[in-house]
Amino acid sequence: MKIVSWNVNGIRSCLNKGFLESVKKLGADVLCLQETKAQKEQVELELPGYLSYWNSAVRKGYSGTAVFTHEEPLSVTYGIDRAEHDSEGRIITLEFADFFVVNCYTPNARDGLVRLPYRMAWEDALRGYLVGLAEKKGVVYCGDLNVAHKEIDLARPKQNVNNPGFTPQEREKLSALLDSGFADSFRLLYPEKADAYSWWSYRMNARARNVGWRIDYCVVSQNLAAQVKEASIHADILGSDHCPVGVELDASDTR
């Protein structure tokens, strides 16, 4: 099964930038979108062969996630059942026979780290949620996690220490999740691969110069790690300031 995650930075804008052609090229069985910035009824989007599930923020034009899947899930859950974290449309969980897929758009700490305290509370609550799911069956946790985990995951680590997305606190929370029984699928297969990024600023021609950050992930629970066949970063696909990332699991053995 091929699972792809993409922060589209506004689905309505991305639709005008080759989104449908990109979806065909990606060939995902499950496509997870973040930062849709729209209610479902605001978007004319039908992908043949896919079922769709949307979780939009209460605040219009902000945040939001969507999932498109070929296979009908056993169940779909929106949010993590925590009122303080469930108004921004940031989580959709699909349950399949052998594993859960959790689509996530992690809150940004913002300039001046004004939202870092909230981000820390979010991280703790979400880690508890994911660990609870992993006690039942495998978990694929993917999305824009808004953090570059290690220095190798951004082009200019020294210049960005303590900036949003590269604070010690945010990095430690991702470490804590991985230490709780999860693996970063990309680093699982490519532990030393440098210059592999999924987000580039629109400023200073950053994408053309590949001055980027790897802040989009497909994380798997340890009981799925052996089934990871490929982990990909589709830097050639345009339409957003992020590119899609993906993980492919061996469908013959995902238990």
Q: Residues 129-169: pLDDT tens digits?
A: 999 999 999 999 999 999 999 999 999 999 999 999 999 99
Res 183: pLDDT: 98
Under-70 pLDDT residues of the chain: 251-255
Given 29, 53, 144, 217, the catalytic residue: 144
Given 53, 105, 141, 217, the catalytic residue: 105
Q: Residue 86 CB: number of other CB atoms within 10 A?
A: 15
CA distance 231 to 73: 23
CA distance 20 to 34: 16
Question: Are residues 11 and 45 in contact, defined by beta-carbon separation less than 8 angstroms?
Answer: yes
Query: What's the whole-model pTM score?
Result: 0.97
| Residue 202 bears catalytic tag | no
Res 255: pLDDT: 42
Question: Are residues 246 and 10 in contact, defined by beta-carbon separation less than 8 angstroms?
Answer: no
| Residue 105 bears catalytic tag | yes
Res 252: pLDDT: 62
Res 224: pLDDT: 98
